[in-house]
Amino acid sequence: MWQKNNLLQKALSILGKLLILGGGVLLPLWLLVFRIDFDFVIEILPALIEGMYRTGLLVGISFSLGGFGALLLTFLRRSNSTLARSCARAFGELMRGTPFLLQLFFVYYGLGSFSEALKAVGMWWLFQEAWPCAIIVLTLNTAAYQAEILVGALEHLPSGQIQAAQALGLSESIIFWRILFPQALLSSLRAYGNELIYTIKGSAAVSLITLLDLTGMTRLLFSETYNFQVYWVAAALYFCLVQFLQLLCFLIERFFRDCRPI
């Protein structure tokens, strides 16, 4: 009896493997790799690389500006004033609780509809074009997430650190900048790397307010050529970008491994 059962199990497992091999590996290979039109790929590659450059620029600017924003939010979250704390928390909830796409629409179309008032304040140039809007919203969005990382990392530092520093008579600012902040940064390296990758993936939504980043460029080229390979090339570019950044984060993390505080 058990032998028969065993045979059945073996047959099922072989069948399953064949199915996975066929459906998961061979069929996509046949659909993708063997039907690639290399001339077409080379033709569209420069435009896609240009789009990738725009994605990189957008994310680079927003992520670094967002770092400063996160620092500001962290100060507000750690301040003694209840009002400042609850404002920073409410901002974080708003940014992390709603879709990035909706925030983009709200700022670009919603605030953009107050053109008269904005012209009066001299801020119209910021909301007139799609690029500054995308940078503003992405910066605010990633600032909220980065602040969450930083606040969490600061809270997890052992309280003995602060007590020891206070016992040495160090000033508040030195305690923060020379003792707490570097350790918090080190322990949140991985989280920062993940946040960078999420920002890149999220930035694809700016193509929906007519920006030609990598996704926007892909949509444009597809609507012109109706050749679906554009999407595969774009996917490959995104994949390489994300994997490269992941490798970089891993290397940075390993470089600082010996300095890890806790």
Site for other proteins, rule CB under 8 A? 13, 16-17, 20-21, 24-25, 31, 93-94, 97-103, 105-106, 109-114, 197, 200-205, 207-208, 215, 218-219, 222, 228, 231, 234-235, 238-239, 242-243, 246
Per DSSP, the residues of 90-148 read: HHHHHHHHS-HHHHHHIIIIIGGG-HHHHHHHT-HHHHHSHHHHHHHHHHHHHHHHHHH
Of the pair 20, 45, the CB lying nearest other proteins is at 20
**Closest residue by Cα to residue 58 from 216, 220, 206:** 206
Of the pair 13, 86, the CB lying nearest other proteins is at 13
For residue 156, the number of C-alpha atoms closer than 13 Å in the C-beta half-sphere is 14
Q: Which residue bears the tokens 């790799």?
A: 33
Of the pair 130, 175, the CB lying nearest other proteins is at 130
Of the pair 100, 192, the CB lying nearest other proteins is at 100
Rounded least distance, CB 110 to other proteins, Å = 4
Rounded least distance, CB 174 to other proteins, Å = 36
Of the pair 46, 97, the CB lying nearest other proteins is at 97
Rounded least distance, CB 182 to other proteins, Å = 28
Rounded least distance, CB 109 to other proteins, Å = 4
212: its two tokens: 């030609």
Rounded least distance, CB 172 to other proteins, Å = 34
Q: What are phi and psi of 98, to 5 degrees?
A: -125, 155
**Closest residue by Cα to residue 176 from 78, 70, 67, 262:** 78
